[in-house]
Amino acid sequence: MINIIIPLDFSETSFNAAHYAAKMYQDRADVTLILYHFYTHGEDTETAQEYLTSLKDELSKRGCVIETELESGERFIDSLAAFAHVKRAYMIVMGLTGRTPMAQRFSGSNTLLMSEKEVCPVLIIPEGAVFTGISNALITSELKFVEETPCLLTVKRVLEYFKPALHILNVDSKHYIELTEEYKAEKDKMEALMAEFDPEFYFMDLYDFHESVDAFATDNNIDLIIIAPKYHDFFGKLFKTLHTKKLIYQSKVPVLAVHE
C-alpha cells in the first residue's frame, strides 16, 4: 500500500492540498491518503477529529482510501517526520501560501522545514492550485555526474503512473552556440536513464535561474516541477537559501522536492 500523508491545520491552503491530492490519486485502491493533524496542549481534539472525519467522508466520494491521524508532541515538524518514517510514506503533500514576506513567515515555514527533513518526497501545492492532470513535467538539472540513484528512481516512480511528457531544463549563463563535450556526454546518460519518458532537453543561457524556470513552465504548460539535489547543485542546500525560497514561493505550479 502506498501511504501519502497530508498535514492539515484546517486552513484553506491545507484543505486545498488535500483536495488536490485526492483528485490526483482518486480511484487508486493501492493508495491511502492519511489526513494528519498535529494538536497542541489545550486544543479541542474532539472538534479537530470532527473536521478530519468530515473531510474523510468528502474525499472518500472520489474513490480514495482515507485514514485520519491525530497526534501531539513537542514539535510539529519532528512529529510529522517520525510519523512519515513509521508509515514509510511515499510522499507528503503540503500547501504553501506566501507571496508576501508576512505570509511566508507564518504560512510557508513549516512546508519548507519539512522538505529539509529528507524523509520522503514533499509535494508543495501553491495556493489555489487545482489538479487537472500531469501532462508535462519539468526536471531542472545541471547535467553533472548523472547516474542511477535512489533520487532518480523516486522521480521515475512518481512519474510512471501519469506518464507525462518529460522536459529536462539546464540553465547556465556559460552556454554558447554549442554544448561542450562534457554536457553532451551527461545529456546522453540522462536520456538513457529516463528513456521510458522520451525526454526533451532544453539549454538556456540566461542569468536569472528563477525567471528562466518560471518562463519555461509557463511557455510549456508545465504541470509539475521536480527539483532534486542530485541533479542540480543549486539545490544542494535545499530550501535553506533566499534564492531557493524565491523559486518555490513564485512557482504557479506544484513543486516536488526529492532527496537522496
State the CB neighbour count (10 A cutoff) for residue 198.
9
**Domain presence at residue 83:** yes
253 plus 144 within the same structural domain: yes
112 plus 157 within the same structural domain: no
25 plus 107 within the same structural domain: yes
176 plus 116 within the same structural domain: no
Measured CA angle at 181 (ends 177, 182), to 5 deg = 115
250 plus 144 within the same structural domain: yes
Whole-angstrom distance, CA of residue 178 vs CA of residue 167: 19
Describe the strand order of the beta sheet including 200-204 as a list of residue ranges.
65-72, 31-39, 2-7, 91-96, 122-126, 255-257, 224-227, 136-140, 165-171, 200-204
Whole-angstrom distance, CA of residue 8 vs CA of residue 93: 10
100-131 in b/e form (b: 16+ CB < 10 A) is eeeebeebbebbbbbbbbebbbbbbbbbebeb
**Domain presence at residue 131:** no
Alpha helices, DSSP H only, in the chain?
12-24, 45-60, 76-87, 101-103, 109-116, 150-160, 181-193, 209-219, 242-250
- Write out the chain's pLDDT in tens, 260 residues: 899 999 999 989 999 999 999 999 999 999 999 999 999 877 889 999 999 999 999 999 999 999 999 998 889 999 999 999 999 999 999 998 644 444 444 445 788 778 777 789 999 999 889 999 999 999 887 776 667 667 788 889 999 999 999 999 887 666 555 677 887 888 888 899 899 999 999 887 766 677 788 889 999 999 999 987 554 554 444 444 455 566 677 788 999 988 76
| CATH number of the domain that residue 22 is part of | 3.40.50.620
Instruction: Give the strand pairing for 31-39 and 136-140.
Output: unpaired
**Domain presence at residue 169:** yes
175 plus 78 within the same structural domain: no
Domain boundary among 91, 126, 161: 126
Backbone φ, ψ for residue 236 (5° rounding): -60, -35
Instruction: Specify the pLDDT at position 100.
Output: 47
225 plus 155 within the same structural domain: yes
Q: Domain residues for 99?
A: 2-126
Instruction: Specify the pLDDT at position 89.
Output: 96
Number of domains, the chain: 2
111 plus 186 within the same structural domain: no
150 plus 215 within the same structural domain: yes
Contact 59, 27 (CB under 8 A): no
Domain boundary among 79, 103, 126: 126
**Domain presence at residue 59:** yes
Domain boundary among 106, 126, 146: 126
115 plus 190 within the same structural domain: no
13 plus 103 within the same structural domain: yes
**Domain presence at residue 27:** yes
95 plus 172 within the same structural domain: no
Instruction: Specify the pLDDT at position 105.
Output: 41
